[in-house]
């Protein structure tokens, strides 16, 4: 496991991502006798990737985001058996750190890691229970900001394809103008011809080969087409911080109830404040869609 460990901690993040991807693709090894050796050799490196080697990134296509996602996905696929039990408290701490600092996709995976660990290993230390409760309460308290951010016109319109570049727009306008002129000329020719000749004119025009154009015009047209194809690429999805994500929020109640069941002493100190923030959250309403449309106008 040494070569893989060195690649995960090396200076090249792309190579570290490739190493994590290879490990994720061969994840069935965790169900073999190699799992204890793998944990001893790679768990410190995987933890370092999440806590020190990378930082959360809102760009889901960035190397840092993809590397963090691969590592969290690997951890989520660890078998919850006796081999993993000694490492469970450490994994809870690592997952909670990712949950509170990362963005939506990775935070959802971290939430599920936390739930699975507490569900199976019911005698875990309570060090991370109250910090998790505080995170949940803070999410509900800042839900008004999350609603505003999620339902703002800028957030909703960011999913639309970007405007065409000026070169592509001008190229498209020129092509449209040429098409309109050609259609107009064709219509005039047919209108001026005798009835029996109209069909012949249309057929002749339909099979007339296109006129050759200069190399400069050809280059401009090719560039315009390439620009148009680029703009048609699906835009990047808006990425939300974990404390502003509705997906992360939906994972919280089940974990909270599990923790209350496992550690009843936290009920009395957390329920009053938690109920109040949840009731305030229930009173929130998203803005009307027509108001967003009117704002855009």
| Spans of the chain, pLDDT less than 50 | 153-182, 186, 188-235, 294-297
Question: 186: how many CB neighbours lie within 10 A of its CB?
Answer: 14
pLDDT digits (tens, 9 = 90+) for 54-96: 999 999 999 999 999 999 999 999 999 999 999 999 999 999 9
pLDDT (0 to 100) of residue 289: 65
CA distance 123 to 130: 15
The predicted structure's pLDDT at residue 164:
33
Cα 141–chain centre separation: 24
Output the pLDDT for position 228: 36
Q: What SS3 state is found at 71? A: helix
**How far is Cα 92 from Cα 216, in angstroms, rounded to an integer?**
62
Tens of pLDDT, residues 1-38: 889 999 999 989 999 999 999 999 999 999 999 999 99
pLDDT of residue 160: 38
**The pLDDT value given to residue 155:** 47
Q: Identify the pLDDT of residue 35.
A: 93
């Amino acid at each position: 496991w040494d070569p893989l460990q060195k690649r995960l901690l090396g200076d090249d993040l792309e190579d570290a991502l490739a190493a994590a991807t290879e490990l994720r693709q061969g994840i069935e090894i965790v169900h073999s006798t190699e799992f204890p050796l793998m944990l001893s050799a790679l768990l410190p490196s995987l933890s370092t990737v999440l806590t020190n080697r990378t930082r959360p990134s809102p760009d889901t296509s960035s190397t840092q985001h993809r590397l963090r996602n691969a590592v969290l996905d690997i951890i989520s696929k660890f078998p919850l058996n006796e081999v993993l039990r000694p490492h469970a408290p450490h994994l809870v701490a690592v997952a909670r750190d990712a949950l509170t600092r990362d963005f939506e996709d990775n935070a959802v995976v971290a939430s599920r890691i936390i739930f699975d660990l507490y569900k199976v290993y019911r005698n875990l230390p309570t060090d991370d229970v109250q910090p998790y409760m505080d995170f949940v309460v803070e999410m509900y308290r800042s839900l008004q900001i999350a609603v505003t951010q999620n339902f703002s016109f800028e957030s909703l319109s960011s999913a639309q394809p970007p405007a065409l570049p000026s070169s592509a727009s001008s190229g498209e306008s020129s092509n449209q103008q040429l098409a309109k002129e050609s259609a107009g000329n064709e219509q005039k020719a047919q209108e001026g011809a005798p009835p029996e000749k109209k069909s012949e004119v249309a057929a002749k025009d339909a099979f007339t080969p296109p006129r050759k154009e200069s190399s400069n015009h050809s280059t401009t047209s090719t560039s315009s087409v390439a620009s148009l194809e680029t703009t048609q690429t699906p835009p990047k999805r808006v990425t939300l911080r974990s404390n502003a994500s509705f997906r992360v929020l939906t994972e919280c109640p089940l974990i909270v109830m599990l923790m209350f069941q496992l550690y009843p002493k936290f009920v009395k100190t957390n329920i009053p404040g938690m109920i109040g923030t949840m009731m305030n959250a229930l009173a929130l309403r998203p803005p009307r869609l027509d108001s967003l449309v009117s704002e855009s106008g």
